[in-house]
Structure 1
């Protein structure tokens, strides 16, 4: 029996509730770097800008709290979370398990390859313009497309908060060029191997990429976290 080709894109979650849709919008703003770690999320202003009630927004906050993306501080309000070093280690463990396996077992004509190509081309263009925040967003899109190779809506839904939490860790590092510049060419290499059908090599290159990235992020993050700052 021939395995049917995967769908052209992850199907939208049409059965999402309004709070879940709001949570998805806020999660995307975190993943794009628009909302930064430690940033306060004022309920009234945010509910007005999103056109929803504060009760509905609070339900969305509960979803994001479950994802580890926001924190409630008693008597202070709601803040975008600041990931711990333990969280970063766990994020990379999850990434290696999911991304490398998805790439190693990719369907040869999966349409997610086109999204990988589009993300790489966007990153190259933005790198030429020194838009390093944009490069970071394109990098997130590339790795989301890698996961989409598994053709699983459940994995896609689970992985989106993982990438959003990773973007929060990136937001703590400040030097976006140092963080993102080396990985543009690595993504090009992974894409070239994938498009050539050399999936095992692509997965191995991705694993090396993730090991290297984790070491860099942890080293810089540890130094950053150790710096003295204002009392909170």
Structure 2
């Protein structure tokens, strides 16, 4: 893995804008990991990354700390920092959290006209990505929709937790990048879910969301196990 290639166009031979902030560098790394440029299991060399990004190694370590808290990277004593490779139990834990947080937000959260319009816009983006055959676009729209559903709760703590969960989900979804049908099937399921919320059928929407999450979990676990989902 040539890490410098994963950062072409960022530094331009100079220092990255906002490079003094570890959080900004964490965002750069997170986006490159999400795009599959730094696959699960990749060792992140401090020396090479600091040079590629034009930042100090201390700033890079701050970024690693942020990403480690989000389970995107892991520090292995005496070996270094690696992009996390979520396993079956990680997937189960992610979906345990999602089944508790998301349906509750849909059922009891505050829904206003502006919120519904934002959800509709995300459905439109997902449909455009589907029409264009963009797996990344569908995945992005899907994540933004689920983030918006949790935001219905009005809880900043739950939204922060969901940010962490969704960041880890990016790694879980990477193996599905070559399986467009995994993402495409959820475009209209998301649309149906938003339609239920708009119609005030929130109990039905929460129940459907739980079924939806169950199905996604089983499909991801089957992929990890090299099986065909039932």
* Same fold by TM-score greater than 0.5: yes
| Deviation larger for 100-109 or 90-99 | 100-109
**Structure 2 residue runs without a partner (length 5+):** 1-19
Q: What is the RMSD of the two structures over their aligned residues, measured on CA atoms? A: 2.3
1:20-169 to 2 correspondences below 5 Å: 20-31=23-34, 35-48=38-51, 50-73=53-76, 77-109=80-112, 111-169=114-172
CA contact (8 A) 2:135 2:177 kept: no
Quote the offset at 1:37 in angstroms. Answer: 2.1
4+ runs deviating over 6 angstroms: none
CA contact (8 A) 1:33 1:133 kept: no
| Cα distance in 1, alignment partners of residues 149 and 37 from structure 2 | 23
Quote the offset at 1:173 in angstroms. Answer: 3.5
CA contact (8 A) 1:31 1:163 kept: no
Q: Quick one: which of 178, 199, 202 aligns to 1:199? A: 202
Quote the offset at 1:30 in angstroms. Answer: 4.1
Distance 1:144 1:42, change over 3 A: same
Q: TM-score if structure 1 supplies the norm length?
A: 0.79
**Structure 1 residue runs without a partner (length 5+):** 1-16, 225-232
| Cα distance in 1, alignment partners of residues 163 and 45 from structure 2 | 24
Quote the offset at 1:80 in angstroms. Answer: 1.3
Aligned positions, number: 208
The secondary structure found in structure 2 opposite 1:93 is: helix
Q: Does 1:180 align with 2:208?
A: no
| Deviation larger for 205-214 or 108-117 | 108-117
The secondary structure found in structure 1 opposite 2:153 is: coil
Q: TM-score if structure 2 supplies the norm length?
A: 0.80
| Cα distance in 2, alignment partners of residues 200 and 28 from structure 1 | 35
